[in-house]
Amino acid sequence: MSLSDLFRQLSILIGLPAVLLAGAGAAAIVIARDWRLSLFGFALVSLMLSLLLSQIIPTEWALMQAIAGGLIAVILFLSARQLRWTSASGQPWEMRWPIMASLTSFRLLAVGLAAVTFAVVRSRLSIPGLDPLFRDAMLWLVLMGLLGLSLHAEPLHAGLSLLVFLGAVELLLFTLFQRRMLIGLWMGGQVLLGLAIAYLVVARGLAALPPSDEMRDRIAQDRRFFGGPL
């Protein structure tokens, strides 16, 4: 089965269903506390963006979005799973990783207000050369990306929100400029950004965890060896 045949079988999702699913995935990244649900939302956004991009660029080029998104999702999954195994089970739920900067109810209310803003602005926003369906998808993804960046202090959720924002930029950028080199550099930059987010996820998560007894003994030995205070 060729890539064209695969995308032809998924043609039922191309159009409004893809925009709705991408919007739902972006909202899940902002609202959800569970890192697995956030990663699933990002994977859904990446897949739907790939289907949408197949309408304006060759199918092989659009598939690079799904591949890059899948690689980023796997990298972040491995980093988050490591923190899940390392986290202490005796801590309260609110103190376990990931530590959220706001309540779920507040994030849900913020998404609702963003939906009202979207309904008001979409009819007044006109971008020459951009399909109205792509305009709606871009506007919603921009709102969710900026909202996630403003509500989340955790690198995982904030990084996924940044990637969602970049996905919205793709819809406009690849509509105006259809260059193979540009698409390759853009997708490669996203993978590198995913690696940086994974590093920050592990560093921030390990720093927030209380040190184990073995780690305390190791720190004490290092301080005795170097003559520092115990």
Mean pLDDT value across residues 122-128: 81
Position 178 in a domain:
yes
Mean pLDDT value across residues 99-106: 73
Mention every residue, 6+ apart, whose C-beta is less than 8 A from residue 112.
none
Task: For residue range 211-220, list pLDDT tens digits in order.
Answer: 555 545 554 5
State the total domains in the chain: 1
Q: For tokens 């803003």, what's the residue?
A: 117
Position 219 in a domain:
no
pLDDT of 217 reads: 57
Which range has the top average pLDDT, 7-21, 117-131, 207-221? 117-131
User: Residue 28's pLDDT band (boundaries 50, 70, 90)?
Assistant: very high
Task: For residue range 128-186, list pLDDT tens digits in order.
Answer: 777 888 888 999 999 999 999 988 888 888 999 999 999 999 988 888 888 888 888 98
Query: For residue 126, is pLDDT > 50?
Result: yes
Position 218 in a domain:
no
Position 82 in a domain:
yes
Does the predicted TM-score (pTM) go above 0.95?
no
Position 101 in a domain:
yes
> Which residue segment(s) compose the domain that 11 sits in?
3-210
